[in-house]
Structure 1
Amino acid sequence: MTKQEMMHRTRQFAIENAKLVLSVPLNVVNKNYCGQLARSASSTGANYRAACRAKSTPDFINKLKIVEEELDESMFFLELLVELNPDLKEKITPIYREANELLSIIVSSINTSRANKS
């Protein structure tokens, strides 16, 4: 997968999460979880873009570690939202699946970068 394809996927991930957030019923718990999800999902794309501009391999790995954390956080809030809003499971499942795929790609990239650094 190219850098441009990953930039597109992480951007699309942020957009899909934003659309989800807009569709979630408003209450105090959903509002908090949706706010966290919107931040972590958009941070995924922003930090991947930053990783693409890394100055060195260690800088690249550090930035990808942030992407990894933001994806994991997004998955956590998606899990909470589906638990508290089971009627949204059909909407949330493909977004969660994409988060998991992106996470696998990022972890693999981190491992490859570490191996090539040695």
Structure 2
Amino acid sequence: MSKTEFVELLKKRTKQLALDVILLYDNIKKTDSTRVIGRQLIRSVTSVAANYRAACIARSQREFFSKMSIVVEEADETLFWLEMLKDAGFVSNEKIEPLMDEALQILKIVSKARKSAGNN
């Protein structure tokens, strides 16, 4: 897989994760707690996708590193909020674990990319 193909694939994956999380949230019972967690989760997961896209068009290595740092932080936060929904019992393991797995995979990928960029 070429670098360009990989970049495009990761753009699709981050966007799809955001869509899947939004759809998950739309289908859970709304309580004060789920609303607070849901807003935070949707904000963080959409930030992952948006900031990754921004990193892809960065004008400099410094800008790329900065945007990727945001992506890493937001991906980790996304994973945290997914864990909160799961641990509180608001969402079944069957529904949330695939999203948690994808969020973790994305976090690992973007963390490695940021580290590589920082070493250059």
TM band (smaller chain): over 0.9
Counterpart residue identity of residue 63, structure 2 = D
Give structure 2 stretches of 5+ with no counterpart: none
* Percent identity between the two aligned chains: 34
Asked if 1:110 corresponds to 2:95, the answer is no
Tell me which residue corresponds to 1:54. 58
Specify whether residues 13 and 88 from structure 1 end up closer, same or farther in structure 2 by C-alpha distance, changes over 3 A only.
same
Poorly superposed stretches of 4+, deviation over 4 Å: none
Distance (whole Å) between structure 1 residues aligned to residue 15 and residue 39 of structure 2: 17
Is residue 39 from structure 1 mapped to residue 38 from structure 2 by the alignment? no
> TM-score if structure 2 supplies the norm length?
0.92
Q: What letter matches 2:35 in structure 1? A: K
2:22 matched residue in structure 1:
18
Unpaired segments of 5 or more residues in structure 1? none
Count of matched residue pairs: 116
Q: Does 1:78 align with 2:82?
A: yes
TM-score w.r.t. the length of structure 1 is: 0.93
Matched letter for residue 28 of structure 2? V
2:30 partner SS: coil
